[in-house]
Amino acid sequence: MPSPELEPGSRGFIIPIGGAEDKLKDKAILSRFMDLSGGEESQILVIPTASMLDDTGTRYQKIFEEMGGKATVLPIKNRKDAEGLDRSVFENCTGIFMTGGNQLRLSTILGGTPVATEIRRANARGVHVAGTSAGAAFISEHMIAFGAEGTTPIAGKVTLAPGLGLTNRIVVDQHFRQRDRLGRLMAALAYNPFVQGIGLDEDTAAFIGPDNVVRVVGDGAVTIVDVNDLEYSSMAYASEGEPVELIGVRLHVLAHGGRYSLSRRKASPGGRQ
C-alpha cells in the first residue's frame, strides 16, 4: 500500500512516462519533472536498476545537470546493493527518476527493500517520483510484468506482478500505441475492475498530482481504460488463448493538456476545442 500522506494533499506527483521521451530538443516531460522538483534547486536521484547498460544512469544524470539541476545516480544492481544503501541519500532529494529497461529487475531487486520503503516515504512527504518505460510500469501497486501484443484481450496472455505501490488506483502500460498493447491492458483490468488502466504512448507522460488528477504532457496520447461499470467479463471462464469478452468498458484518449480525474472517473480535453 502507498505510504500515508503526512497531511492531505502533501503527496508528490507520480509520473509514469511511456518511454522514448525527448532528451534532445525541448525535453517537455523531463523539463516539467525538473521544474516540479525545484528547477535549479532540484536534487534528483536517478535509479537505473531496470537497465543492464552501465551508462544509463549517468546519461540521465548528465541530462538533468545540463538542464541546471543536480542529480545523483544510485548504483543499485542487486538486492545486496539495495539492502546496504545509505538511506540518508533520500533525505534532501526533491525528485526520484527510475529509468527504463526490464520492470522485473525493479520488482525483484527493489521489492521489499529499504530503498522501496524510502521511495514511498519520500513520495508521501512531497517528493515527485517519475519512471520511464519499465520504471513507469513499476510505479503502481499492480504491475504488468509481460504480455502478448494485440488489441483483443486474450486469457492467459498477460502476467501481473507486485509493483512499487505508490498508488493502487491504476495499472500502467507503456510504449502503448507503438507496441499495440490495448489487449493486454484490458486483460490486466479484467482481473480486478477496481483499478483503472493508463496506456502511455512514447514521449508521453501522465503527471498524477496529489489530487489524483492525471495531466497529459507530451507528443503522443494517453489512453484511459475504465472498467468500473463493467457489465460482464468472461475472464473467469475463458480458457488460455481464448479472447476475453468485456461489456461496459469506457475508453478515453487524451492528448497534451488533457486531464482525467481518477477519483471522479471523468475526462476533459486539452487539445483544440
* Residues recognised as catalytic: 133, 175, 202
Rounded to the nearest 10 degrees, the angle between the axes of helix 56-66 and helix 28-36 is 70
Alpha-carbon distance of 244 to 228, in angstroms, equals 17
> What is the total residue count of the chain?
273
Q: Which three cell numbers stand for residue 101?
A: 529497461
Burial class (CB in 10 A: 0-12, 13-18, 19+), 253: middle
Place of cell 484511459: 224
C-alpha cell at 172: 500502467
**Taking Cα atoms as reference points, which of 252, 257, 246 lies closest to residue 267?**
252
H helix or E strand, kind and range, residue 135: helix 134-138
